[in-house]
Amino acid sequence: MENLEAFRQALENSHNKNNARQTINAVAINLTRAKSELSHATTSLAELMDIADEQNCKSCLVFLAELRATAIAAYNTINSAEKELQNKGGCQSRAT
């Protein structure tokens, strides 16, 4: 009976570890996608900033610069989270 209980606990622990790995990998994939979206957004904002500058719209330029700074900060935060996941060994397979 003791062996059966130990086997049950081992199976349960293995299942929990697999669930945790799957969750961590799903989070890592979502972080990668978010970084990509933010990268595209910052590029688009930079292009809009060029247009606002050409049109001499200073208030637009300030607003867009603030948005871009926020997007860059979010990108950096996500990048740090992604690196932390990798350092913990949770992100063994990456999808883009």
Q: Tell whether pTM > 0.85.
A: no
Report the C-alpha gap between 95 and 82 in whole angstroms: 13
Element (H, E) at 80: helix 58-87
Q: Return the pLDDT at 1.
A: 59
Residue with the larger pLDDT of the pair 39 and 5: 39
47: helix, coil or strand?
helix
> What digits encode the pLDDT tens for the residues 65-95?
999 999 999 999 999 998 888 887 644 444 4
